[in-house]
Structure 1
Amino acid sequence: MTQTILLVEDDKKITMALSLRLQAMGYKVDSAADAVYAMKAAVRCQPEVILLDINLPGGNGFVVADRLRASANLGITPIIFITASKDPEMRRRAASYGESAYLEKPFQAAQLVEAIDKFTH
């Protein structure tokens, strides 16, 4: 069965590039462009991993992560936080979510593959 990754990213170019990369790796990709739709998409697609941008319209990625962790069905879903921020506090906060990883944009494809493999194999 094909594993699903939910990509929550508001930049359409990044969404397109990452979606193509993930599909080429054999994943089914669902996406959301803001914090409000992210939760709806997660409930609908029940992903194996969530790639979650921290700076989003409608609330930041940490708000989404809080909602995910409070959800009975999504509470343990691994989250890979992605951000352009260099703020070390964001990295520390992301680490507090348990099954998670953190990638600073721009990141290499190999870093993304490694982070996803950590949770899907």
Structure 2
Amino acid sequence: MTSAPSPFERFTRQKTVLLTTYKRDGTPVGTPVSIAVEGDHAFFRTYDAAWKPKRLRNNPDVEIAPSTSRGKPTGEAMHATATLLEGPDATRAAQALAHKYRFLHGFLVPFMHRRKHWKTLHYVLTVRSA
């Protein structure tokens, strides 16, 4: 018996995805982000001063689509739910991102967040239930 493939499998080698979050009025806002896939979920990070966390607090439903580094979609979007991580779960997300993007998320992003005195926020993406 084989297990079902992860819904995030097609994003495993993808460097950037277009993360679409929604304003209170329902207006979609797309932002390119780096993700790391781990089994049936994926991780991304942002910082506390960005608008993304504010939108996610109001509505955790998102769409992700493969994209160029500038955010131009290159494939079909899928629906997901973003959940803020804390403690060991956030550490695991940081490790997964640093493993996939050794320089960018292993050094540069954490350095810039510390330098600017931003709090780094880690999120997990899971398939949105109907």
TM-score, normalisation: structure 2 = 0.26
**Structure with more relative contact order (C-alpha pairs < 8 Å, separation 6 or more):** 2
Structure 1 or 2: more strand by fraction? 2
Larger radius of gyration: 2
Structure 1 length as normaliser, TM-score?
0.27
